[in-house]
Amino acid sequence: MRLTLYTDYSIRVLVFLTARTDGLSSIAEVSETYGISKNHLMKVVQKLGQAGLVTTVRGRSGGIKLARPANEISVGEVVRLTEDGFELVDCGSCIIAKACGIRGILKEATQAFLAVLDSYTFGDLPKSELNILDVLASFPDVRQKTVACVGGPDAL
């Protein structure tokens, strides 16, 4: 069982922006940090923006930031937004779908899954043992590149 790469990247962007409490970030910076292509991230940020999760500040000193406080963005909200759906198996093509009862069981399990994700917000994350920006700082090469990118021509 996997979530889509799209969900994965969306969560990573929001984790990064949650950790960066002191200003704007750039897509280039997020790209360098995680080793994810800027093109992919631009699509992800665009959708997160449309959903009211990320705000874009345009211009030379622009960048991106969370549109709402991190403790108002639940992990469940993001996963619901970015997954294609939660029909775990394709019952539509199955002639016994009405009778077999598996669909109801899978639905109940999925609801339990999402209930846990709904109970956590991105504001809960910095309570973990380490601070994400401390981890980033322990990778000098990445850190140097990312700092250089902030607010630069590649800001968006």
Residues that bind its own copies (CB under 8 A): 1-4, 7-8, 11-12, 15, 33-35, 75, 79, 83, 85-90, 93-96, 98-102, 104-106, 108-110, 112-117, 120, 124-125, 127-132, 134-136, 139, 142
Q: Yes or no: say if 67 and 55 are a contact pair by the CB < 8 Å rule.
A: yes
Instruction: Find the shortest distance in angstroms from Cβ 107 to its own copies.
Output: 10
Nearer Cβ to its own copies, position 57 or 89?
89
Q: Yes or no: say if 37 and 154 are a contact pair by the CB < 8 Å rule.
A: no
Instruction: Find the shortest distance in angstroms from Cβ 105 to its own copies.
Output: 5
Nearer Cβ to its own copies, position 60 or 93?
93
CA distances from 31 to 15, 62, 86, 151 (A): 13, 16, 29, 14
Residues 6+ apart with CB under 8 A from 6: 44, 82
Instruction: Find the shortest distance in angstroms from Cβ 82 to its own copies.
Output: 10
- DSSP state at residue 83: S
Nearer Cβ to its own copies, position 49 or 76?
76
CA distances from 17 to 65, 66, 77, 114, 143 (A): 6, 6, 16, 23, 15
Nearer Cβ to its own copies, position 60 or 128?
128
Instruction: Find the shortest distance in angstroms from Cβ 47 to its own copies.
Output: 17
